[in-house]
Structure 1
Amino acid sequence: MSTTEPTRPRTLAEALRGWDDAALGELLRRRPDLALPIPADTGQLAARVTSNASAARAINRLDEFGVDLLEALSALPEPVNVELLSQGVGQPEEVVRPRVTELLELALVWGTEDDLRPIRAVHELLGPTPAGLGPITTRHFGDLDQLIDDAGPDARAVLDKLTWGPPTGSVEKADRPVTIASARTPVERLLARGLVVPKDANTVVLPRQIGLHLRGGRVLASTRPVPPPLAGKKVSAAIADRAAAGAALDLVRLVDRALEQLGTEPPPVLRTGGIGVREVRSLAAKIGAEEQTAAAVLEMAYAAGLVAAVEVGTSEMWLPTSAYDDWLELDLAHRWAQLVMAWFSGLRAIGLIGRRDSTGSTAAARERLINALAPDLERLLAPEIRVLALQALAEAGAGTAPAPETVVMWVAWHRPRRGGQFRDDLVEWSVSEAALLGLTGLGALAAHAKPLLGPEPTADELAEAISPLMPEPVSEVLLQADLTAVAPGPLVRTVQDELSAMADVESDGGAGVYRFSESSVRRAFDLGRTAEQLHAWLAEHSRTPVPQPLTYLVDDVARRHGVLRLGTASTYLRCDDENVLTQLLNSNLPGVRFRRLAPTVVVSPSPPDMVLSRLRDAGLAPLAETFDGALHVTGAPRRGEAPRRRTSRDFNESAFDLTDDQVKAVIEKVRAGDRIAAERPGDDGLISPAAPAETIAVLTNAAEAHTRTWIVYVDHNGHSSERIVEPVRVADGWLTAYDETTETPRTYALHRISTARPVD
């Protein structure tokens, strides 16, 4: 980065003010939280850079070696140059120098390579004992080697235990006064010479200067400037891609079958959100998957917007959405790609299903198991770790299946301060979910998964990448004498729907098997099909002649189907006088329809209260009765509880990127604020607002003389901002002026201008 200051800047704000636009732009892109809201000037930008919240976000995105360098800079006494830092981390200067440049570009460190200074937030975030070193003492020790030798070998053994941390030890009456003459124990001899100092009544601590001396100038015992290797087994890349494509096809089938089942038998939404364990277990058995897989399938469908909680009457049920119908219209590749994109960018940690929620706000909540589709599954860390896990698989190379533990270590090196054990669990879950999604095959990353690692991946790119591996849909099946149909590939959607209506899925895979049975054929008749339609469809879509047993099965079920009829009626009317019912059928009451089932019985699809009201309006006096014929007495209406409304988890931070235009706008605003600050008049009159008459006089004179004026303007939210303007006109309570910040003419309400001063 370039600077315009010939001398060393005294503060971070001065250093940032000397950066060029390219360096500021890179800082804003790598730390986008600094731009919202737009800082008024470089001073405000520097304040945000040094805030703990912003610095923590930047440090959390550093890899292990970057954090090690910050720890070393925080532990070493200032000033620190690249040579001393290299010695402190035990790495050559050519390795350390580019990483120091990165820290300077992130503004976590400022100064020059000969005088590196971590910002205040770094010291606070890394804690009082960076790299396991104790606090700095002001005592001057002289010859430390001689001082340590004088304490004796047993005292040296105590120091050796404290050298690499933790730098504290427990001892009774640590704060008692001790002299070299009165010292008897090793710890007392160390206390008398200041080689350890009391922290409290029962704790001693090793001063930082002593710790660094005992470590031989090293801050850290070992450092890793590069990530650990991704060891694993070699597999055929082509076979791995085909295996991954097969898994992708199986996932699409599982999602389709699961949502079809939800549409037929929708499970209820639990009081705490999510779907019950028994419902997931039942669904897993019906779609032919393991319970954990079924839960993951539901989560992926939920992330893609294919299933949602819907109010049905007085309860909530899990049902497919209209987006599911649109999803079914897509080809296999795009259906898969939509599921992958939803998983890749989603916040839901699927691996938490069936575990206890350690983040619960109460003890009962922490003991409760997390259900599938529950709102408690959202974690901000999940998408970041998914990206890193896939990057690790890609780093291993095509045809290499790295061991899961090496992937965990690789991700841990890249994000040492993010998540701990939960981070490691997320890595393992991400690898397993990637296999279920068909992003990996035989443990290796598939070629069609690599578009996900691009700058802005899209579903179309993923679909295009996997399309060559997806089989073409077929419209014909092979009917066999054992009442099965074999689909030699994925079926065209209309063919699959018709076949599923009359046969049950027996097995999935490259060739799906469907079995015809009495119940499955009856299901087709229940959907309105006739025997003639089934015979015609089977003959049209079978590559082989229709087997005679299947023809007999269809005809046999058709003969017995519909002998007993079942219907729905909301209201029935019975009357011993047939003439009353006959007159009622001929009366055409508004909004009510009747059907006669017997001479003395009619039914209506309208609700009982509506029928009762219409009959009374017609001059009749009906009497309501219960199902068993008893008199129905109307009581006071019952009140139900208000429906529960869930709220999503409120995250403290969000990931976003700035566009080039946004970066440019922020830099322009900061530069303009610096110009205003540089031309600000003296301190006189800035602490308290000026009188309105004085402000108007200054502005009027400036408009007549065409001179530049510095003003403090308060907006409708009470926020004040400084501006340099060129007044043009003052009239009717408004100032018309040219604003140098926006380079446009603007109007300002005079009562909102608290101070105005001419600029020399």
Structure 2
Amino acid sequence: MRPVVSGSFAEYLAGLDETRLARLLRLRPDVRIEPVPRGFGQLAERLGGAESLAFALRQLTRDGVRTGQAVAALGGEATVRKVARLLGAPEPVVADLVTDLCERGLAWLDGETVRLPDRLAAHWSAEVGDGRPVADVARSVRVEDLRVAAAALGAEAEGLRKPELIARLADALADTPAVARVVAGLPRPARDCLDVLSHGSPGAFWSLPAPRPAGPQRLLAAAGLALNVNGRWEVPREVAVAAWLAEFEPPVLTGPLDLPSAAMSPAEMLATAQAAAQDVLRAVTSVLDTARSKPLAALKKGGVGARERTRLAARLALPAETVLLAIDVAHAAGLLGHTDAGYAPTEAFSRWREEEPSRQWAELATAWFGMEHAPTSREQDDGKEVPPPLPLASGAGMIRRALVRAAAGGRSFDAAGRQLDWFCPLHGYEPDEVGQKVEAVVREGHLLGVLAGDVVTDCGERLAAVADESADDPVAELADRVASLLPEAPCTVVLQSDLTAVVSGQLTVRASRLLGAAAVCETRGTASIWRFTPETVRHALDTGWNAESLRQELAVLSDRPLPQPLDYLIADVSRRHGQVRVRGLRSCVLADEATVTEILHTRRLGKLHLARLAPTVLSSPYELDNVLAALRAAGFAPVAEDAEGAVIIEENAEHEAAASRRAGPGATRDRVSATNLAARLLADPEGETVSDGGPGETFEQLAELNPRLSAAELALLADALDQERDVAIVYRDKNGTRTRRAIQPRVLFGRWLESWCYLRNGDRDFTVANIESVAPA
């Protein structure tokens, strides 16, 4: 194991007490996924990984990001006092922000110096400007140019030698706020040029163009902000930091924004949330019940296309956006999976179907809150729709979580949305795109009961609280907290004399199967309306019910006798049902002589090429199913028989998505609790006591093929390969193109890793040496 170095990030982590370490691990749940870090060296590597840092940065406010950038700008000289001076902010405010960075594992204190993980320091330094200090740059600059630069910045330069000029220039540039004011006064072309020069890589200079009296480079040189180094321009790091500071309107740190309160009575808010929760549970149940009978058609490249969604919305009388949300959230919750026939419920759906409403809602809400995209505002790929439930890269998830947290406590959600750039500064969207994502949060929040009007509901606040606490079982914890808010609504079925059934409450499995077989849903809402027709009753009889069992089940379901019209409908359909029988001899139609004559002379049945074999027997060259369908379309009510004359009961097939390496996620990874992992690390800081025998053969092979990966990354990749788990990698192909992919490694052969790639929805080979980083998927 890598030893803990004095002053390093690992040493800082090892010095935390159990309470502070457990808090950090709760805020960074990705590092608690098995295989967990062994020792503080691996923990520092996991916390400093690109994916882990990206997750943590999404939780920061604008003040937190600017404080971290200021630390990176000051480099090895960053202290709370110097950061406060650079930002023009009170020291206590900066101290609190630095403490927050430390608690999230994004910084640590080495004495009084604030330090950042290497990857994060490099990232923020590049954003601020990563040039050389002026003391290094000035050594290669002519004395006269140094004299001009120093004088432009107000320093006494006459008669000084080069070392003295360099010292004077360094002193002048050390006053960052003053230099920032000089930058702010530049014309826009000069500021744009300064931005370009500031963000070159260290030591990279820019060619000096043909002299122009008012060229932007000349303006920068005249202001003392750019130096001519052997015929090329270079901007000192101190100037780049000042240019970064000049981009902000004072004050640079604004502090938490004071959002107005949203007015809504608790009773009204609760009633709205309960109604929305009941509606979304009914919608998801209806979609999955339908997919169980007939899987949702999948496109060739995966996903449920717009045509299939439109058909489903019309059949279930649901809005299109509700169908989108239901498909995406059900898939994210593990209730909907892919099969060869399309998308169908998984085994988990049967369990979910029997749960209390609070548990059902908790599973859906937790899945929605953790999604990285917005189901009702999905990004496009090259102008084409990425259909649900295919995964896609998006910043909508961080916007959703930031706004729900910001508006908690009765504050205005609309006001939080207008201040999104403070609560979620790294969203990366253009203004018009931001509006679309915020609208999607509002739309989906109302559908799920997380929002009511302009306020976050009690259900929404408890959802955010459980997510922030990183509970070991967030779904169970959330279900417990909302149980009193989402009581079970008993299923009530009222059969009416107009051949409809009015259903309120959540449909039970028994009621869903009976009504799904014998009726069709016309409207959905707080109460749904189902209609009985000759076709729907005949469908129930075709799938194995008989008239008596249908009457009994409907009477039990409604707890009262059947209305006379419904009783007559069942009797009439039952009387005609089976009068015509189709025997599977490819095929024979058997009926009384009058009916056979009628069938034989029905013009629309001419395509069956029927022939009379006997007064009561017709034959057809078509298969049994084709003859049955044609007779039913012509108004007859046939039943099927086998070769021996026994009635064939048509199964109401229920499809269930089978676990498949190609169709869905690999083996799930266990997540260790924060307190458990903290205790384990403190008991074995170096990771020397390993119960499973330490790194195995796969680890060693991968380490030989890619020595640039850290021990923590190699452990994740080896575990994914050995245990058939998913993993996220950043991969650079032979053309130098870098992509982020979720893969399921299968076989290591030679220097290649054969894997299932979710991005390409197919098998791909990856050169192990070209994998740049590894993180849990």
TM surpasses 0.5: yes
CA shift at 1:330, angstroms?
3.1
Question: Cα 1:446–1:127, aligned 2, differ >3 Å: closer, same or farther?
Answer: same
Distance in 1, Cα, partners of 2:346 & 2:244: 64
> Superposed, which structure 2 residues align to 1:529-608 within 5 Å?
529-534=545-550, 547-568=563-584
Q: Which amino acid aligns with 1:562?
A: G
Instruction: Confirm or deny that 1:436 pairs with 2:450.
Output: no
Question: Cα 1:506–1:165, aligned 2, differ >3 Å: closer, same or farther?
Answer: same
CA shift at 1:426, angstroms?
5.4
> Superposed, which structure 2 residues align to 1:395-474 within 5 Å?
395=409, 397=410, 400-403=411-414, 406-407=416-417, 409-410=419-420, 412-417=421-426, 419-420=428-429, 428-452=439-463, 453-454=465-466, 455=469, 456=471, 457-459=474-476, 461-462=478-479, 465-466=482-483, 469-470=486-487, 472-474=489-491
8 Å contact 1:95–1:225 — kept in the other structure? no
8 Å contact 2:406–2:416 — kept in the other structure? no
Aligned mate of 2:92, from 74, 85, 94 = 94
Distance in 2, Cα, partners of 1:445 & 1:543: 39
Identity among equivalent positions (%) equals 27
Q: Which amino acid aligns with 1:108?
A: A
Instruction: Confirm or deny that 1:522 pairs with 2:546.
Output: no
Instruction: Confirm or deny that 1:329 pairs with 2:354.
Output: yes
Q: Which amino acid aligns with 2:422?
A: W
Please, which runs of 5 or more residues in structure 1 have no aligned partner? 1-8, 358-365, 573-596, 608-643, 674-712, 721-760
Q: Which residue of 1 aligns with 2:134?
A: 137
CA displacement, residues 176-223 of structure 1 (integer Å, 9 cap, x when unaligned): 799xxx98989647636854224897x856545457789999987442
8 Å contact 1:24–1:667 — kept in the other structure? no
8 Å contact 1:72–1:85 — kept in the other structure? yes
Distance in 1, Cα, partners of 2:79 & 2:7: 18
Instruction: Confirm or deny that 1:161 pairs with 2:187.
Output: yes
CA RMSD in angstroms, aligned pairs only: 5.2
Q: Which residue of 2 aligns with 1:394?
A: 408
Distance in 1, Cα, partners of 2:122 & 2:63: 19
Q: Which amino acid aligns with 1:167?
A: L
Question: Cα 1:554–1:68, aligned 2, differ >3 Å: closer, same or farther?
Answer: same
Question: Cα 1:90–1:165, aligned 2, differ >3 Å: closer, same or farther?
Answer: farther
Instruction: Confirm or deny that 1:191 pairs with 2:189.
Output: no
Instruction: Confirm or deny that 1:320 pairs with 2:345.
Output: yes
Q: Which residue of 2 aligns with 1:65?
A: 63
Q: Which residue of 1 aligns with 2:500?
A: 484
Aligned mate of 2:674, from 640, 659, 663 = 659
Question: Cα 1:561–1:137, aligned 2, differ >3 Å: closer, same or farther?
Answer: same
Q: Per the alignment, in what secondary structure is the counterpart of residue 514 of structure 1?
A: strand
Q: Per the alignment, in what secondary structure is the counterpart of residue 186 of structure 2?
A: helix
Q: Which amino acid aligns with 2:387?
A: N
Q: Which amino acid aligns with 1:276?
A: G
TM-score w.r.t. the length of structure 1 is 0.62
Distance in 2, Cα, partners of 1:387 & 1:498: 40
Distance in 2, Cα, partners of 1:158 & 1:449: 44
8 Å contact 2:194–2:235 — kept in the other structure? yes
Distance in 2, Cα, partners of 1:26 & 1:488: 45
Distance in 2, Cα, partners of 1:428 & 1:476: 36
Question: Cα 1:416–1:522, aligned 2, differ >3 Å: closer, same or farther?
Answer: same
CA displacement, residues 158-183 of structure 1 (integer Å, 9 cap, x when unaligned): 9623797762479xx973799xxx98
8 Å contact 2:152–2:223 — kept in the other structure? no
Distance in 2, Cα, partners of 1:350 & 1:495: 29
Question: Cα 1:190–1:308, aligned 2, differ >3 Å: closer, same or farther?
Answer: closer
8 Å contact 1:266–1:317 — kept in the other structure? yes
Question: Cα 1:289–1:120, aligned 2, differ >3 Å: closer, same or farther?
Answer: closer
8 Å contact 2:72–2:125 — kept in the other structure? no
Moved more, 90-99 or 425-434: 425-434
Question: Cα 1:160–1:287, aligned 2, differ >3 Å: closer, same or farther?
Answer: same
Distance in 2, Cα, partners of 1:235 & 1:443: 8
Q: Per the alignment, in what secondary structure is the counterpart of residue 223 of structure 1?
A: coil
Structure ID, larger Rg: 1
Distance in 2, Cα, partners of 1:543 & 1:29: 51
8 Å contact 1:232–1:401 — kept in the other structure? yes
Q: Which residue of 2 aligns with 1:246?
A: 275
Distance in 2, Cα, partners of 1:535 & 1:245: 33
CA displacement, residues 577-618 of structure 1 (integer Å, 9 cap, x when unaligned): xxxxxxxxxxxxxxxxxxxx9899999xxx9xxxxxxxxxxx
Distance in 2, Cα, partners of 1:88 & 1:417: 22
Distance in 1, Cα, partners of 2:86 & 2:393: 37
Q: Which residue of 1 aligns with 2:332?
A: 303
CA shift at 1:286, angstroms?
0.3
Distance in 2, Cα, partners of 1:43 & 1:521: 68
Question: Cα 1:393–1:372, aligned 2, differ >3 Å: closer, same or farther?
Answer: same
CA shift at 1:20, angstroms?
5.6
8 Å contact 1:89–1:219 — kept in the other structure? no
May I ask how many residue pairs the two structures share in their alignment? Answer: 579
CA shift at 1:251, angstroms?
1.7
CA displacement, residues 654-713 of structure 1 (integer Å, 9 cap, x when unaligned): 99666334333334444698xxxxxxxxxxxxxxxxxxxxxxxxxxxxxxxxxxxxxxx9
Distance in 1, Cα, partners of 2:500 & 2:10: 80
CA shift at 1:287, angstroms?
0.4
Q: Which amino acid aligns with 2:425?
A: P
CA shift at 1:120, angstroms?
5.0
Question: Cα 1:459–1:441, aligned 2, differ >3 Å: closer, same or farther?
Answer: farther
Structure with greater contact order relative to length (CA < 8 Å, sep ≥ 6): 2
Q: Which residue of 2 aligns with 1:703?
A: none
Q: Which residue of 1 aligns with 2:299?
A: 270
Distance in 1, Cα, partners of 2:562 & 2:462: 46
Q: Which residue of 2 aligns with 1:749?
A: none
